[in-house]
Structure 1
Amino acid sequence: MGGSAGSSPCASCKLLRRRCAKDCIFAPYFPPDDPHKFAIVHKVFGASNVSKMLQELPVHQRVDAVNSLVFEANARVRDPVYGCVGAISYLQNQVSQLQMQLAVAQAEILCIQMQNEPTVQSQVLVDQDDKSLWYNNNSHLGYAVSGQFSTNLASSSSIMQMQDPLKQESLWT
């Protein structure tokens, strides 16, 4: 798939302004019609390092390696300090916030249901630290509202404690 007489050199050889040899290591992974793909990988990792990495891998793993390098290079351009780790941390923080919002919504539903049952006085506790949601009635029993949250007993004197999930601190923000 490397360059030859009459064919266009691969994106790496074109960018590096060199002749694309028949056995060019870049040609199968950086086609001439997608020059940005190699340009960003070259900018972040350097052609020599990419070449060494590809040579050390079995041929069947090289496509995945190139895709990973392109993904990481794009992430590094957007966030030079944390790269992919920053993106992962951001998404984990969003999941955590959404789990907390879900717990609050479930607690509100439970409170409404309990208000419709006049013989049972209930209280609900939402613990932001371990994302637990508890329902307590006059018999001092704790019931987990969702199997997604861990099981704890809370005293019948607990009150609904809700904190703004958007105010959570993160190592990455």
Structure 2
Amino acid sequence: MVVASPCASCKLLRRRCAKDCIFAPYFPPDNPHKFAIVHKVFGASNVSKMLQEIPVQQRGDAVSSLVFEANARLRDPVYGCVGAISYLQNQVSQLQMQLAVAQAEILCFQMQQQDPQQNLPIITTQQMMTPDDKSLLLSTNNFDYSLQQQYLNFGSTGNIVMQDPPKIESLWT
């Protein structure tokens, strides 16, 4: 007679794992930390209710989302995932600004090479920036460093569980 090991949730909650346990397919016994973090943030009862309200084919994605949000909430209890998203959006806008400045510099150099007789002055990035841009750049660089430590090393601590890779889906399908 083969006795199946209880799922991670039943193991943590110290209960008998039924055949129709809602947690068993998503929280295997070999990965107890995954359920422990979700349970700590959301509670087993709430997770069970959420999973029962979701169609079976979408439950795996829901569990991945819960694990990701639980990890984010443990790292940043106030903002959770929104803090990471805001940081990345800020980084994208800064990189877009840097790209625009670099493209402007390239255009200036190309214009100088096309007509070297005009003796156009060479404009550097620092000269193109206003004092407000420079102070904003300095303040965001300091802000970025602290956020970078928090979000780029997102899964590096021992108590954080890495979730399954996200599936690419459209919100409109």
Common fold: TM-score over 0.5: yes
Instruction: Give the distance between the partners of 1:31 and 1:160, measured in 2 at CA.
Output: 57
Aligned to 1:137: none
Question: Is 1:73 aligned with 2:70?
Answer: yes
Q: Pick from 72, 81, 86 the counterpart of residue 89 of structure 1.
A: 86
CA shift for structure 1 position 115: 2.1
Q: Pick from 95, 100, 104 the counterpart of residue 103 of structure 1.
A: 100
CA shift for structure 1 position 119: 5.5
Is the Cα–Cα contact under 8 Å of residues 8 and 32 in structure 1 kept in the other structure? yes
Larger Rg: 1
Task: Output aligned runs, 1:40-51, within 5 Å.
Answer: 40-51=37-48
Aligned to 2:24: 27
Unaligned runs of 5+ in 2: 148-173
Deviations 1:120-166 (A, max 9, x none): 66999x9xxxxxxxxxxxxxxxxxxxxxxxxxxxxxxxx93452445
Aligned to 2:128: 160
CA shift for structure 1 position 112: 1.4
Aligned to 2:49: 52
Deviations 1:47-68 (A, max 9, x none): 0000000111111111111010
What is the identity, as a one-letter code, of the residue corresponding to 1:69?
A: L
Is the Cα–Cα contact under 8 Å of residues 30 and 37 in structure 1 kept in the other structure? yes
Moved more, 160-169 or 97-106: 160-169
Q: Quickly say closer, same or farther: Cα 1:82–1:75, change in 2 above 3 A.
A: same
Report the TM-score when normalising by structure 2: 0.69
What is the identity, as a one-letter code, of the residue corresponding to 1:25?
A: I
3-state SS of 2:101 partner: helix
Q: Quickly say closer, same or farther: Cα 1:103–1:109, change in 2 above 3 A.
A: same
Report the TM-score when normalising by structure 1: 0.69
Aligned to 1:118: 116
Instruction: Give the distance between the partners of 1:113 and 1:167, measured in 2 at CA.
Output: 32
3-state SS of 2:15 partner: coil
What is the identity, as a one-letter code, of the residue corresponding to 1:60?
A: Q
The structure that is helix-richer by fraction is 2
CA shift for structure 1 position 109: 1.1
Unaligned runs of 5+ in 1: 127-158
Aligned to 1:17: 14
What is the identity, as a one-letter code, of the residue corresponding to 1:68?
A: S
Name the % identity.
77
CA shift for structure 1 position 87: 0.4
Instruction: Give the distance between the partners of 1:79 and 1:107, measured in 2 at CA.
Output: 38
| Number of equivalences | 135
Instruction: Give the distance between the partners of 1:160 and 1:50, measured in 2 at CA.
Output: 53
